[in-house]
Amino acid sequence: MLMVAGFFLASCAATKTDQGGDVDAASASASSSSGGEITAGTQEDLIVNVGDRVFFEFDSSELTVDAQATLDAQAAWLMQYPDTNITVEGHADERGTREYNLALGDKRAFSVYSYLAQAGIDTNRMEYVSWGKERPEVIGSDETAYSQNRRGVTLVSN
């Protein structure tokens, strides 16, 4: 058990730097609304100006402080576009069994879903689904890819 804990801690440490970098980038673009040809209230708008995803630590479905900040911004954005419905996808990296990762992906998706619900978004506007490790964002068998794949993604569904 002690050795397992050590393994987890090592993974988390490696993850945090990756995650920090990504979320910072996301919030930076959120504050500098670039406008341009992007249609407001669309998936592209969400990606560019808010950040469509949050990242999780290894084997965890808890929302990090950075993830919560991204979701606060998503909630505000969803308030701004009340006709927008979303599906939250939960994903896992490839270092677990298919079935365990389906379960983990569902918990991750639900973490995002329930955070947005608590932030005031009507649950009738939201669905969630787990893709386990079946739909990686980044192909690759290393921690760089894994940290990008342990994610919850908000998709505009209408």
Partner 1 sequence: MIKKILIILFFSFNANAALEVTIAQGKVEPTPIAITQIFGADSDTARYGNTLRQIISNNLTNSGLFYTVNEDLYIQSDNLVEKVPRFEDWKLIKAQFLLSADVSKIDKGIRLRMRLYDVFNAKEIEKLQLTIPDENLIRRVGHTVSDIVYERITGETGYFDTRIVYVSEIGPLDQRVKRLAIMDQDGHIDSHQFLTDGKNMVLTPRFAPNKQLITYMEYKNNLPRVYIYNLKTGEREIVGDFPGMTFAPRFSPDSQSVVMSFSDPNNAANSEIYLMDLNTRSRSRLTNDSGIDTSPSFSPDGEKIVFNSDRGGSPQLFIMDKNGDNIKRISKGRGVYGNPVWSPRGDLIAFTKLTQGNFHIGVMDLNGNNERVIVRDFALESPAWSPNGRYLIFHRQKRSNLDGTGGEVTIHFIDITGYNERIIPTPRDGSDPAWSPLL
For position 145 contacting partner 1 by CB under 8 A, the verdict is yes
In DSSP terms, 155 is beta-bridged to: 87
Please, which residue, 38 or 47, has the CB nearer to partner 1? 47
Distance between CA atoms of 158 and 156, rounded to whole angstroms? Answer: 6
- Site membership for partner 1, residue 134 (CB under 8 A): yes
Q: Contact between 43 and partner 1 (CB under 8 A)?
A: no
Q: Which helix (H) or strand (E) holds 131?
A: strand 126-132
Residue 5 found at the interface with partner 1 (CB under 8 A):
yes
Given 68, 72, 110, 125, the residue binding partner 1 (CB under 8 A): 110
Instruction: Extract the runs of DSSP E, i.e. beta strands, from 27-124.
Output: 53-55, 86-91
Q: What's the DSSP call for residue 157? A: -
Pick from 18, 59, 68, 125: which binds partner 1 (CB under 8 A)? 59
Phi-psi bin for 79: left (phi > 0), alpha (psi -120 to 50), beta? alpha
Q: Is 136 in the site for partner 1 (CB under 8 A)?
A: yes
Between 49 and 111, name the residue whose CB sits nearer to partner 1: 111
SS3 content of the chain, % helix, strand, coil (to 5): 55, 15, 35
Please give the residue ranges that form the binding site for partner 1 (CB under 8 A): 1, 3-5, 7-8, 59, 87, 94-100, 102-104, 106-107, 109-110, 114, 128-130, 134-141, 145
